[in-house]
């Protein structure tokens, strides 16, 4: 199934209501320290977004009045048969169902499919771009109660002067995070929108805070024309080194061993067959809900000490107050499902926590470069 059907990133347009709430909030975290309210907001939000049990065919078909029940039945039957054959379990005797109505037959498949689900999983029925109906199974996973954000300005400036080889490999590591793991960088932040809106308001206000206005203007200009813009281009340049190959190159670096070692460990995780979007499933009951999606909590930011990051974190905190979407792994179940797909689901259960641990380790290591750049 194409990604756009089952992977839904949070919209990049900022609503006026959200913007107004942000302006009333306090400044976000300072330097590399967590915000005073970040953990509390996330912890309080975890219980606010939970899965709801799905009904059978009658409930499902209420919203599919113009859809052929025969088409849905045939597609889901193919998926169900493939799963039973793969798992070597007894399936439905379809011949015995032939005297029943089509809706009852469909309900039988849905009911029996539910019994085949791995523990902790739920499912939905969706249609692909090819108009094929399929099951999508998904499960909420554990996570750490903090934002997976780290900052690169200090280490980049230090490595530029003192370890050019590691500098280049560090940029390659960032490229893997962005292009393979699909982590957002500062260029996809909401902060620039907020800042530009506030600058416009200041320009229309005859009694403005001139010092703060100049701070915002300078920050916006830096991100558009300064080092952040330069490194944005480097990181977004198409193509990245295979994580294992990058790991081998890092092992040849003799200086800055703490940073080298954490990057080598990171390469092992980044080589696994997962990315942020694999855990960003937007199931039907929550697709349009307000709240902070898990995949939007991860980001590479330039620095923690400017207005740009303050605005970025204020938005995260505001969204988290509306609720928190935990990492939700998913897999499309159709006639092409393979046994390896179920192994992928099982092995990915702890990936979000491992990823958060990696970002924590990176942050701890990068602290040593705060005053050395």
- Secondary structure class of 93 (helix, strand, coil): coil
Residue 96 lies in a domain: no
Q: What is this structure's pTM?
A: 0.81
Residue 68 lies in a domain: no
- Secondary structure class of 203 (helix, strand, coil): helix
Residue 301 lies in a domain: yes
Residue 133 lies in a domain: no
> Could you tell me how far CA 11 lies from the centroid of its own chain?
13
Residue 65 lies in a domain: no
DSSP for residue 9: P
Number of compact structural domains in the chain: 1
Instruction: Identify the CA nearest to 274 among candidates 352, 198, 160.
Output: 352
- As separate numbers, helices (DSSP H) first and strands (DSSP E) second, the chain gives 17, 6
Instruction: Identify the CA nearest to 146 among candidates 24, 369, 313, 334.
Output: 313
What is the torsion angle, in degrees rounded to the nearest 10, for the CA atoms of residue 275, residue 280, residue 283 and residue 287?
Answer: -140
**How far is residue 36's CA from residue 38's CA, in Å, rounded to a whole number?**
6
**How far is residue 3's CA from residue 331's CA, in Å, rounded to a whole number?**
11
Residue 23 lies in a domain: yes
Residue 137 lies in a domain: no
Instruction: Identify the CA nearest to 304 among candidates 367, 212, 226.
Output: 367
What secondary structure, in 3-state letters, does 294-362 show?
HHHCCEEECCCCCHHHHHHHHHHHHHHHCCECCCEEEEEECCCCCHHHHHHHHHCCCHHHHHHHHHHHH
Q: What angle do CA 92, 93, 95 make, to 5 degrees?
A: 140
Identify whether the C-beta of residue 5 lies closer than 8 Å to the C-beta of residue 129: yes
Q: How many residues would you count in the chain?
A: 373
172 is in which domain, residue-wise?
12-49+142-327+349-369
Each residue's pLDDT tens digit in the chain (373 positions)?
333 334 434 333 323 332 233 333 333 333 233 333 344 433 343 333 444 445 555 545 545 555 688 899 999 999 999 999 988 888 778 777 777 888 888 988 999 999 999 889 999 998 877 788 999 999 999 877 778 999 999 999 999 999 999 999 999 999 999 999 999 999 998 888 888 888 888 777 766 777 888 888 888 889 999 999 999 999 999 999 999 999 999 999 999 999 999 999 999 999 999 999 999 887 766 666 788 888 888 999 999 999 999 989 888 888 888 888 889 999 999 999 999 999 999 999 999 999 999 999 999 999 999 877 5
Residue 195 lies in a domain: yes
**How far is residue 316's CA from residue 336's CA, in Å, rounded to a whole number?**
38
């Amino acid at each position: 199934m194409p990604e756009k059907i089952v992977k839904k990133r949070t919209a990049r347009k900022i609503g006026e209501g959200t913007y107004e709430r942000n302006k009333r909030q306090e400044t976000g975290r300072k330097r590399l320290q967590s915000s005073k309210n970040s953990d509390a907001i996330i912890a309080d939000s975890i219980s606010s977004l939970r899965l709801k049990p799905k009904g059978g065919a009658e409930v499902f078909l209420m919203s599919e009045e113009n859809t052929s029940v025969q088409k849905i039945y045939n597609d889901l039957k193919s998926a169900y048969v493939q799963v039973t054959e793969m798992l070597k379990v007894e399936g439905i005797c379809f011949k015995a169902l032939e005297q029943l109505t089509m809706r009852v037959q469909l309900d039988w498949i849905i009911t029996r499919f539910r019994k085949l689900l791995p523990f902790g999983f739920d499912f939905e029925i969706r249609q692909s771009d090819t108009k094929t109906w399929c099951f999508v199974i998904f499960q909420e996973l554990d996570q750490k109660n903090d934002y997976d954000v780290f900052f690169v300005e200090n280490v980049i400036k230090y490595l530029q002067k003192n370890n050019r080889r590691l500098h280049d490999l560090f940029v390659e590591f960032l490229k893997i995070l962005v292009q393979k793991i699909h982590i957002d960088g500062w260029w996809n932040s909401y902060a620039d929108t907020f800042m530009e809106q506030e600058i416009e308001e200041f320009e229309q206000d005859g009694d403005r805070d001139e010092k703060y206005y100049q701070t915002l203007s300078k920050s916006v200009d830096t991100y558009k024309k300064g080092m952040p813009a330069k490194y944005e281009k480097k990181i977004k340049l198409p193509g990245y080194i295979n994580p294992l190959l990058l790991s081998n190159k890092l092992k040849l670096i003799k200086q800055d061993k703490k940073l080298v070692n954490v990057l080598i460990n990171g390469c092992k995780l980044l080589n696994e067959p997962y990315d942020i979007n694999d855990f960003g499933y937007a199931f039907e009951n929550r697709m349009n809900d307000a709240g902070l999606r898990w995949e939007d909590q991860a980001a590479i930011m330039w620095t923690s000490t400017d207005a740009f990051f303050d605005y970025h974190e204020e938005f995260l905190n505001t969204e988290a107050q509306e609720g928190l979407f935990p990492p939700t792994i998913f897999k499309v179940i159709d006639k092409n499902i393979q046994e390896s797909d179920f192994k992928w689901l099982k092995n990915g259960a702890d990936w979000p926590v491992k990823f958060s641990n990696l970002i924590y380790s990176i942050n701890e290591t990068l602290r040593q470069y705060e005053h050395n750049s």
